[in-house]
Amino acid sequence: MTAEECFHAIFERIHKLEPTINAYVTLIEEEALKKAKQIDRKVSEGKQVGKLAGVAVAVKDAICTQGIATTCSSRMLKDFVPPYDAEVIKRIKREDGVIIGKTNMDEFAMGSSTETSHFGPTHNPWDTSRVPGGSSGGSAACIATDEAVLALGTDTGGSIRCPASYCSVVGLKPTYGLVSRYGLIAYANSLEQIGPMAKDVYDCALFLSVIAGHDSKDGTSVKAAPKDYTGFLKDSVEGFRIGVPREFFGEGTSGAVEEQVWSGIHKLEELGATIEETSLPTLEHSLAAYYIVAMSEASSNLARYDGLRYGYRADKDEGDWATVYSRNRRIGFGAEVRRRIILGTYALSAGYYSKYYLKALKVRTLIRNNFDEAYKKYDVLVGPTMPFPPFKIGEKIEDPLALYMSDVDTVSANLAGLPAISVPCGFTDGLPVGMQILAPPLREDLTLQTAYAFEQNTAYRNRKPALE
């Protein structure tokens, strides 16, 4: 099959399924087909091609793409077309990967369900009445439906791993700083990380090999040598020491999810790993600390969007500066974004900074120290990605606290800057369940090897949603 034939097939599938799934907010079909022809020409002429030659890549709409609208699924940025590419986009293009479109997401990456998008919710391919997870729900859904081969997501508190679990694909949050954040529209700078999403662990490792690496334009970028992460994929966890924190199975965890995840853990034991239950007491405080830090950083980052310097400007310009400013933000931002800005501003205010924000930073340090102690004893830690299966669209959107609770098992990896991967580990009532594997900083090799060994000895990756 030529690249051009492959892309025609993918776009045909996109046009067929998008009315149901709504995974994309922008498609660039003409440009993608043009690049596919160029790659076919390079192949026919015997020229060297990149690692991603002819591969269709979907990009979360929070990552800047030159000449292609980048909206963060918000009215506030509905007309924004970046004049430059994010570093990860440059690296994909250098390896002949082809960007085919921008994927739907929770507005400004604030959510766990892809319901807060200005362009409407994305639907879960396994049950279209349910959410695909968030905020990278569009990226996960298009992988699960074969509307793309690879996808970029961003993970601030689980936004790659959550939809990977809910859509039964593989999603990796790399170590903080391993992948450049240059060109990522900021939500919470100290937490967020761009990462790969794919159909299986090999593709995820290959994609990480392309996008990872030091970037002088990103002050948080780690000076780590480039690696071929596919070289770490071994069908074995013989001798691995795996810890299972009890806190990952706390109150609110579905019994069906717990059963499937423990089944996956026992499979790792069958493959030669040593399994031991353990405790990380500080994880009980991770959700509260995360939301204070994330919302505080969001209130600072989003202050620039006022409709005067940046962002959506209401047609009506009557009134003083404060009136125009507040009208632009009230109309430009959705309810969840406004809620987080208000809460973050409150946490940073003069009377409450030390009571909330400073205390959250101290708890963050304790969580990191708790993980450091655990990794002296264990190679990886394993637990559920999400505490319950995908829920119905609209079920939790009016109850923010219930929605925030869905992040209880994922936010700790962001607070500590750890690599964490979600890999499919089963189904309950036809809905996917994901298993999360966490490793020490810069030990993506351990997360990928554990996930690969599990994947190769199970058949969950072969199961596809019935959408025909």
For the segment 159-186, the average pLDDT, to the nearest whole number, is: 98
Asked about 60 being catalytic, the answer comes back as: yes
- On whether residue 357 sits in a domain, the answer given is yes
Contacts with 246 (C-beta within 8 Å, 6 or more apart), sequence order: 277, 278, 279
For the segment 27-31, the average pLDDT, to the nearest whole number, is: 97
Crossing angle of helices 286-301 and 358-374, rounded to 10°:
130
State which of 369, 389, 414 marks the end of a domain.
Answer: 369
pLDDT at 52: 98
- On whether residue 108 sits in a domain, the answer given is yes
Beta bridge partners of 179: 212
Q: Name the pTM for this structure.
A: 0.96
- On whether residue 72 sits in a domain, the answer given is yes
Q: Identify whether residues 149 and 137 lie together within a single domain.
A: yes
Q: Identify whether residues 129 and 12 lie together within a single domain.
A: yes
In this structure, the dihedral spanned by the alpha carbons of residues 68, 70, 71 and 77, taken in order and rounded to 10 degrees, is: -90
pLDDT at 206 over 80: yes
- Options 35, 60, 102, 267, the catalytic residue: 60
- On whether residue 467 sits in a domain, the answer given is no
- Options 73, 112, 113, 135, the catalytic residue: 135
Q: Identify whether residues 203 and 325 lie together within a single domain.
A: no
pLDDT at 316 over 80: no
Please give the Cα distance from 216 to 196 (Å, whole number): 21
User: 344, 390, 307, 383: which is closest to 124 by C-alpha?
Assistant: 390
Q: Identify whether residues 221 and 307 lie together within a single domain.
A: no
- Domain of 49, CATH number, reads 3.90.1300.10
Structure-token pair, residue 265: 């853990």
Q: Identify whether residues 296 and 326 lie together within a single domain.
A: yes
User: 82, 64, 55, 66: which is closest to 210 by C-alpha?
Assistant: 55
Please give the Cα distance from 201 to 171 (Å, whole number): 9
C-alpha angle with apex 448: 445 to 451, nearest 5 degrees? 145
Pairing of strands 193-198, 170-173: antiparallel
Asked about 254 being catalytic, the answer comes back as: no
Amino acid at 196: P
Please give the Cα distance from 114 to 118 (Å, whole number): 10
pLDDT at 318: 80
pLDDT at 468 over 80: no
- On whether residue 468 sits in a domain, the answer given is no
Q: Is the distance from CB of 282 to CB of 246 less than 8 angstroms?
A: no
pLDDT, tens only, 301-314: 999 999 888 899 98
Q: Identify whether residues 250 and 311 lie together within a single domain.
A: no
- Options 112, 113, 136, 159, the catalytic residue: 159
Residue 245's pLDDT band, with cuts at 50, 70 and 90, is very high
- On whether residue 98 sits in a domain, the answer given is yes
Asked about 112 being catalytic, the answer comes back as: no
pLDDT, tens only, 277-289: 999 999 999 999 9
Tally of structural domains, the chain: 2
- Buried residues in 324-351 as b, exposed as e (16+ CB within 10 A): beebbbebbbbebbeebbebbbbbbeee
Q: Identify whether residues 378 and 315 lie together within a single domain.
A: no
For the segment 55-82, the average pLDDT, to the nearest whole number, is: 97
- On whether residue 214 sits in a domain, the answer given is yes
Structure-token pair, residue 96: 């002949």
Peptide bond preceding 135: is omega within 30 degrees of 0, i.e. cis? yes
Q: Identify whether residues 265 and 298 lie together within a single domain.
A: no
Q: Identify whether residues 292 and 193 lie together within a single domain.
A: no
User: Three-state SS string across 109-151, please?
Assistant: HCCCCCCCCCCCCCCECCECCECCCCCCHHHHHHHHCCCCCEE
Please give the Cα distance from 338 to 317 (Å, whole number): 21
Q: Identify whether residues 314 and 338 lie together within a single domain.
A: yes
Q: Is the distance from CB of 390 to CB of 434 less than 8 angstroms?
A: no
Q: Identify whether residues 169 and 191 lie together within a single domain.
A: yes
User: Three-state SS string across 199-223, please?
Assistant: CCHHHHHHHHHHHECCCCCCCCCCC
Residue for token pair 């072969």 = 462
State which of 306, 335, 369 marks the end of a domain.
Answer: 369
Please give the Cα distance from 208 to 61 (Å, whole number): 19
What does the DSSP 8-state code read for residue 187? S
pLDDT at 332: 95
Please give the Cα distance from 378 to 362 (Å, whole number): 24
- On whether residue 129 sits in a domain, the answer given is yes
Where in the sequence is the domain holding 158, given as residue range(s)?
3-281+373-462
For the segment 261-287, the average pLDDT, to the nearest whole number, is: 97
Please give the Cα distance from 406 to 386 (Å, whole number): 7
pLDDT at 314: 87
Q: Identify whether residues 63 and 106 lie together within a single domain.
A: yes
State which of 316, 338, 369 marks the end of a domain.
Answer: 369
pLDDT at 84: 98
